[in-house]
Amino acid sequence: MTDQANPNLSALAAKTAQETGEFPNLMLKEIFEQPRVLREVVAGRLDQATNRLTLNEVTLTSEQLAEIRHIYIIACGTSSHAGLIAKDLIERWTDLTVDVQIASEFVFNRPQTANDTMAIAISQSGETSDTLNALRQARANNAYIIAITNVLGSTITVESDATINVKAEVEAAVPATKSYTAQLATLALLALYLGQERQTLTSDQVAEYYSELSELGDKIALVLSQPSLESITKAAQFTAEAKSVLFLGRGNSVTTCKEGALKLKETSYLHAEAFPALEFLHGPIALIEPEDATPIVALLPVDPNDDSMNNVFDRVKSYGARLVVFATTSATKSIQNADRVIILPEASALQTPFVTAVALQLFAHDIATSLNRDIDRPRYLSKVVVEE
């Protein structure tokens, strides 16, 4: 692998200043583009008269789609996190089973691809070597390949049977933000389409979930307004001096925690890990350093009546951790002992991974700002990871 550092950094800095407009950096600018991007991704996909979703990019007929038995999702980094949320949606809405594979490990996992297999390759850039190598292997074994990418004409689009453009437009900051939520929305549309075509969802269900997706732009706009912005900045300042930040969630939120931890590592160079909240008690809890008051960042379950994390909160606080909780208004009643609470807009189970991901993007951005990091060009990283 090679780090493709830009050889002309001063020219890049000047160009960046021009491109950031009213924002201090490109990452924040791109975070704020998400309401518009999400509205554009979702718009115009449902025929209101018939309640049928159209996804003309998928070239398989309904009969061919009915023959698919299994799906492999192959991706790296942030794109693999979008794949984990997509697995949950596809398995919830269809009778298909889904494996999410880190693309560079695909070859080691003895994938059983055949012509009843679909492979979904997710890549913002469409050029990531590990993803392309895995795609080629799936293709050699007769899988039908769908590329989910932000770059039309990229290598991944040339080598796939179908391409769905995530329509996030150019993403210039190295940390992926708007491309992630655009991938999530695109994959949610694909999952809905599979449920429709395989008749595992009714047309009313398709319309209902589509309507939830249509609200995403407004939900994210709320995360990006006061008082949420200010409370995230304060929580970030409260956390920035830490040596290590541990993220806890349950269900789909574990994936969002992984994405939040990745964003924090790359922008702030802080150690960050994500765990399923109850699994944290089975060993990782020993990572709490009382002298450091290790920050624990928790995403509450979607169900406001689920207080299953309270026991974990009591334990971590008793060992000297600092607790930062992201929660919707209705869930706040179940929070005990938190040092900081960030209130997020009410969201359905489908909308929550978007709302919480954007909140954690801001959290990582604000910590990196407190630490004076080069947010758009983190050390050692490049926008596209390709083989030498």
Computed over its alpha carbons, how large is the radius of gyration of the chain?
21
When the beta carbons of 121 and 312 are compared against ligand F6R, the nearer one is 121
369-388 binders of ligand F6R (CB under 6 A): 385
Q: Does 77 bind ligand F6R (CB under 6 A)?
A: yes
Q: Does 121 bind ligand F6R (CB under 6 A)?
A: no
Q: Does 79 bind ligand F6R (CB under 6 A)?
A: yes
Q: How far is the CB of 145 from ligand F6R (least distance, A)?
A: 15
Residues 370 and 270: beta-carbon distance below 8 Å: no
Burial 273-283 (b: 16+ CB within 10 A, else e): bbbebeebeee
User: CB under 6 A: which stretch of 122-130, 212-220, 282-290, 341-349 binds ligand F6R?
Assistant: 122-130
Burial 91-127 (b: 16+ CB within 10 A, else e): eebbebebbbbbbbebeeeebebeeebbbbbbbbbbb
When the beta carbons of 340 and 365 are compared against ligand F6R, the nearer one is 365
Cis ω before 227 (30° cut-off from 0): yes
Q: How far is the CB of 216 from ligand F6R (least distance, A)?
A: 20
User: CB under 6 A: which stretch of 26-34, 123-131, 198-206, 220-228 binds ligand F6R?
Assistant: 123-131
Positions of E strands within the chain: 46-47, 52-53, 70-75, 97-102, 117-123, 144-149, 162-165, 244-249, 271-276, 295-299, 322-328, 340-344
Q: Does 358 bind ligand F6R (CB under 6 A)?
A: no
Could you tell me the sign of the dihedral formed by the alpha carbons of 166, 167, 173, 177, in that order? negative
Q: How far is the CB of 46 from ligand F6R (least distance, A)?
A: 27
How many residues of this chain bind ligand F6R (CB under 6 A)?
Answer: 14
Q: Does 309 bind ligand F6R (CB under 6 A)?
A: no
Q: Does 78 bind ligand F6R (CB under 6 A)?
A: yes
Q: Which of 94, 113, 124, 157 binds ligand F6R (CB under 6 A)?
A: 124
Length of the chain: 388
Question: Cβ-closest residue to ligand F6R?
Answer: 77
Tell me the pairing of strands 144-149 and 244-249: unpaired
Rounded CA gap, 208 and 190, in Å? 15
Q: How far is the CB of 127 from ligand F6R (least distance, A)?
A: 7
Residue with tokens 């980094």: 77
Residue with tokens 């709320």: 222
Q: Does 176 bind ligand F6R (CB under 6 A)?
A: yes
When the beta carbons of 52 and 139 are compared against ligand F6R, the nearer one is 139
Q: Which residues bind ligand F6R (CB under 6 A)?
A: 76-79, 123-125, 128, 131, 175-176, 262, 266, 385
